[in-house]
Amino acid sequence: MINFNKYIEINNKKRFGKPIIKGTRISVYDVLSWLSSGMARNEILTAYPELSMEQINACLSFAAKKEQKHLYAS
């Protein structure tokens, strides 16, 4: 699993404290929404050239880790 901490930050002064991609105002939720709506990774990279494939993968890794914590907390 990719080390998402290298790419994802939570800063209360940006996007109301939602997890975002470092150096941007693009949230993890934004990326996950684009992917779930059928947008291909290459389409995201074309539309948002400030992003990298590693950052997109970090969003997926972040979501997987969050879900894993949720499952084991229940």
Q: Which two tokens stand for residue 57?
A: 């993968």
- The domain tally of the chain equals 1
Q: What is the band of 2 on the pLDDT scale with cuts at 50, 70, 90?
A: confident
Distance, in Å, from the CA atom of 74 to the CA atom of 64, rounded to the nearest integer, reads 16
CATH of the domain at 61: 1.10.10.10
Q: Which domain holds residue 47?
A: 4-73
Give pLDDT tens digits for 18-73. Answer: 999 999 999 999 999 999 999 999 999 999 999 999 999 999 999 999 887 666 66
Q: What is the Rg, in whole angstroms, of the alpha carbon atoms belonging to the chain?
A: 12
Angle between helices 28-36 and 53-73 (to 10 degrees): 100
- Is residue 7 scored above 90 in pLDDT? yes
